[in-house]
Structure 1
Amino acid sequence: MTERVFLHVGAPKSGTTYLQRVLDANRAGLADAGVLLVGERHLDRIHAAMAVREDPRLEELPASAGKAWRRLVDQIAGWRGDAAVLSYELFAVASAEQAGRALADLAAYDVHVVVSARDLGRSVVSAWQERLKFGLTTPLEEWRPKPESVQGSEWGWRTLDPSGVAERWGASLPPARVHVVTVPRPDAGPAELWNRFADACGLGSVRVDLAVPRANESVGVVQAELLRRTNGRLRHEISGSRERSVWIRDLLAQEVLAPLGSERIGVPDAQSAEAAEVCARAVSRIEESGYVVHGDLADLRPAPSSDRLPSEVTEAELTDAATACISALVATMRDRAEARPRARTTSAPAGPVVPPGTRARARNLAARALGPYDNARVRQLARRVEELEREVQQARRLHLRVATLDDVVRELLLDPEVQDSGVTWAALRDYRRESL
């Protein structure tokens, strides 16, 4: 029976994708060691976090999405091992009340909350990049994360500041069960991040394979500026978070632009200064709270940056990047067209080799792209069915009224000799012509 639950609640852009890939890749080995990786799919964890946060976007999703948190709780209850680990970064958005209700559902277990965080100056740049992927047009030098007090902000200080996340999620827990994992500086290597996380989750003795593919989700400084300018043209063409996530984030940013350049984006002086102030307060709050720290809180301080800012990108660089982007986009769409199922023929013409995984990515993208339209079509058809059902009921009631009126006319208005004769309907027509 499950005894301990480790709830990794974020923060975003703190190595969470890497950690989750390691967990997923070692699911079987963790299970053999008595550790459940909660959630069969990453999407289950996304929906569970939305349910905990009472995200209004759940209304646009199938009803099963709203029950995802309850399913994960049931999965933990059914586990026969000693421990369970649940990791998803946007649990960090939850309010203290929402976090409290979620923890109440896990009251039967020894719950530990794990919060990871990185250099807060780099966190600001990463948050700006993520906002770019959803249509942001504000230049980095003018952008600021929203204050911690702004509820529901996924890319503000509410999620980036580990002290606030730890306080909201750890309000009902002893400090010894609230863990802050700091992301090491780049020269330490990814294994050090896993070691710190494993220590926080009691996984230090579990052998895992750390050779997982690294996802390149960041865009270079030139490509980021190109994306920002492109968003200005797309704002009227692509709207809504689901459309933006498919076409701007997944296709344009991550699939096309990210492979074209990886020059790191610098941290503007104003944002670095603000991050330093937030860091000083966060370190003080964490130290005073008595939370368990895995790593060094100094890792949260903004490191000096000599990288270029988006405003320093030249027009010539943007022209070259735009040309490369168009070429890559055409090639991507060509590959997807080639990946579509075709009728088998005995002499199929030779064509370009489709890269491995392209078909799956294309099907996934198509499903996600059409999802909003499919949902809207289903809702439209459901409304039409309801209208038709109402019309049928009205027609039935009308037929009953006509039958009743027919009986009344027969009894009161027609001569008894006529009622049973073959001229009944002729008599009714005469009555209508003369009386109405």
Structure 2
Amino acid sequence: METDCTRDELPAGGGVLTPLSAGTRLLHIGPHKTGTTSIQGALFEARDAMARHGVEWPATTRHPMEAVLAACARTGMMGDVEPTERHWERLLERVRATGGRTCVISSEFFADAPDDETIERIVGQLGGDRVHVLVTLRPLARIMPSQWQQYVQNGLRMGYEDWLEHMLGKPPYEKPNPSFWRRHRHDRLIGRWARVVGPQRVTVVVVDDRDRDGLMRTFEALLGLPARLLHPVADAVNRSLTLAETEMLRNLNKEFRANELPAELYSQLVRNGAVMHMKNACAPGPDDVKIGTPRWAVEAAAGIGAEMAERIGASGVRVVGDLHLLSSMEKPVGRTEIAPRIAPETAAQALYGALAAAAAAPVRHAAPAKSRTVHQTPSKELVRVLGHRCLRRLRLR
């Protein structure tokens, strides 16, 4: 593909990537599922070492999610604490405190900024002309299964193939997750930010999954850091769910919604209890079935990727890596004749995680006696009562 963009090879491939000027505020906007958690963990872990080389990490955590959600006028995940403007103001205060030093801020939720006006405000508050935007990209075919299971972790009840039909084959492609194409129509995402900061202040990095350390080396080169300063940080909590684990959670989501249980309960007991403990305690084995994308969806994603690559290449932004990867055709995983089954150990760990989260909220008041026994009460009513009791205990902490 012939393009008129500025092109650099990844440092790992022997090319030279010119560092950004001192005092730059590098803003990594994701989007989701493009190596963001990995690079955020590496940057946070190396924050003290980076500071000795003139580069600051102004956030107090490895991902200032609440601050960025507030800046983009986005709600938090289902049942989580609502982000406030104060979250964003605190991050801005720490950015200003870095003075004339280089700093780096990373959050995939910047990709959710709803319009040019919001982007302009964010850029202006972070330093205006000092801001350089970094976008990391992967092929859609690799993003889609990871993004679907992430939506399931936030309450989605739709199956994968049905979800793919809605995202790829049923216009206007906004339901059930309108955020998907705002994040992952990458040419338009880059266009929105380039309109505000100018294409000369946008760098696009095409992540090559065959080069596990390539993204780390690119960040080092852009920030003027010594080679091999950044290292991946082990994070079991961020691993993707297997197909069986996702299907278990999706069916739980159906029961949860059918019984009208509170969103706060989902956050505490399901996402931050059952799912998080299951991820920490259980590593997928070789026999676990991964989420497979059917051939028609892989072909559709590759076609969209080719179109996006052409438009990105013509936009004038700096591209690091090979845009052809965005339209690569991966071998699709077909249907399995045997339905995936979750291991008893995994199910037990998920159940234990929910129980442990519930037990973390001590009971301060005894529940009044009921006139009916448990065996006389319909199961749906039992689930609803249990849910509200657990939520009441969580609120009493």
TM-score by length of 1: 0.67
Distance 1:330 1:373 in 2: 17
8 Å CA contact retained: 1:112, 1:178:
yes
After superposition, the C-alpha distances for 1:203-260 in whole angstroms (9 at most, x for unaligned) are: 4436514152143421112222232223222223465655434333333334326725
Read off the aligned partner of 2:88 and give its amino acid letter: W
Would you say 1:221 and 2:243 are equivalent positions? yes
Distance 2:274 2:199 in 1: 43
Residue 290 of structure 1 corresponds to which residue in structure 2? 316
- Give the SS at the match of 1:24: helix
- Among 230, 236, 239, the residue aligned to 2:258: 236
Which structure 1 segments of 5+ residues have no match?
Answer: 342-368, 379-436
Distance 2:302 2:157 in 1: 25
Read off the aligned partner of 1:323 and give its amino acid letter: P
Distance 2:201 2:393 in 1: 41
Distance 1:164 1:128 in 2: 21
Q: What is the RMSD computed on CA atoms of the aligned residues? A: 3.6
Which structure 2 segments of 5+ residues have no match?
Answer: 1-21, 363-389
In the TM superposition, residue 300 of structure 1 has moved relative to its aligned partner by 1.9
- 1:206–1:29 Cα change, 3 Å: farther
After superposition, the C-alpha distances for 1:14-45 in whole angstroms (9 at most, x for unaligned) are: 110100000010010111111111211246x2
Distance 2:66 2:184 in 1: 21
- Among 163, 166, 170, the residue aligned to 1:143: 163
8 Å CA contact retained: 1:133, 1:245:
no
Distance 1:89 1:48 in 2: 12
Residue 73 of structure 2 corresponds to which residue in structure 1? 54
- 1:128–1:64 Cα change, 3 Å: closer
Residue 188 of structure 1 corresponds to which residue in structure 2? 211
- Among 103, 121, 138, the residue aligned to 1:84: 103
After superposition, the C-alpha distances for 1:301-349 in whole angstroms (9 at most, x for unaligned) are: 243234355xx3635x43xx163344223554677799999xxxxxxxx
Residue 30 of structure 1 corresponds to which residue in structure 2? 50
8 Å CA contact retained: 1:131, 1:155:
no
Read off the aligned partner of 2:240 and give its amino acid letter: S
8 Å CA contact retained: 1:35, 1:84:
yes
After superposition, the C-alpha distances for 1:63-102 in whole angstroms (9 at most, x for unaligned) are: 9832222222222222145201000101101022211111
- 1:130–1:241 Cα change, 3 Å: farther
Residue 275 of structure 1 corresponds to which residue in structure 2? 301
Read off the aligned partner of 1:141 and give its amino acid letter: E
Distance 2:225 2:112 in 1: 28
- Give the SS at the match of 1:38: coil
Read off the aligned partner of 2:32 and give its amino acid letter: P
Between the aligned residues of both structures, percent identity stands at 26
Q: Which has the higher helix share?
A: 1
8 Å CA contact retained: 2:135, 2:190:
yes
Would you say 1:132 and 2:155 are equivalent positions? no
- Give the SS at the match of 1:13: coil
- Give the SS at the match of 1:293: strand
Distance 1:324 1:135 in 2: 23
- 1:253–1:299 Cα change, 3 Å: farther
Greater gyration radius: 1
Read off the aligned partner of 1:93 and give its amino acid letter: D
Distance 1:327 1:132 in 2: 20
After superposition, the C-alpha distances for 1:167-200 in whole angstroms (9 at most, x for unaligned) are: 1122122212101111212x322x112112333x
Figure out how many residues of one structure are paired with residues of the other and give that number.
339
Residue 202 of structure 2 corresponds to which residue in structure 1? 178
Distance 1:334 1:105 in 2: 43
After superposition, the C-alpha distances for 1:328-381 in whole angstroms (9 at most, x for unaligned) are: 23554677799999xxxxxxxxxxxxxxxxxxxxxxxxxxx969964xx89xxx
- 1:151–1:66 Cα change, 3 Å: farther
Would you say 1:118 and 2:142 are equivalent positions? no
Distance 2:117 2:43 in 1: 29
Q: How does 1:7-26 map to 2 (within 5 A)?
A: 7-26=27-46
8 Å CA contact retained: 1:52, 1:99:
no
In the TM superposition, residue 283 of structure 1 has moved relative to its aligned partner by 0.6
Residue 205 of structure 1 corresponds to which residue in structure 2? 226
Read off the aligned partner of 1:213 and give its amino acid letter: A
Higher deviation after alignment, 322-331 or 108-117: 322-331
8 Å CA contact retained: 1:30, 1:206:
no
Read off the aligned partner of 1:28 and give its amino acid letter: D
In the TM superposition, residue 103 of structure 1 has moved relative to its aligned partner by 1.1
TM-score by length of 2: 0.73
8 Å CA contact retained: 2:274, 2:351:
no
Would you say 1:248 and 2:274 are equivalent positions? no
Distance 1:152 1:140 in 2: 12
Q: How does 1:351-390 map to 2 (within 5 A)?
A: 374=395
- 1:239–1:178 Cα change, 3 Å: farther
Distance 1:253 1:56 in 2: 21
* Structure having greater relative contact order (Cα 8 Å, sep ≥ 6): 2
Residue 89 of structure 2 corresponds to which residue in structure 1? 70
- 1:61–1:338 Cα change, 3 Å: closer
- Among 302, 318, 327, the residue aligned to 2:348: 327
Read off the aligned partner of 1:48 and give its amino acid letter: A
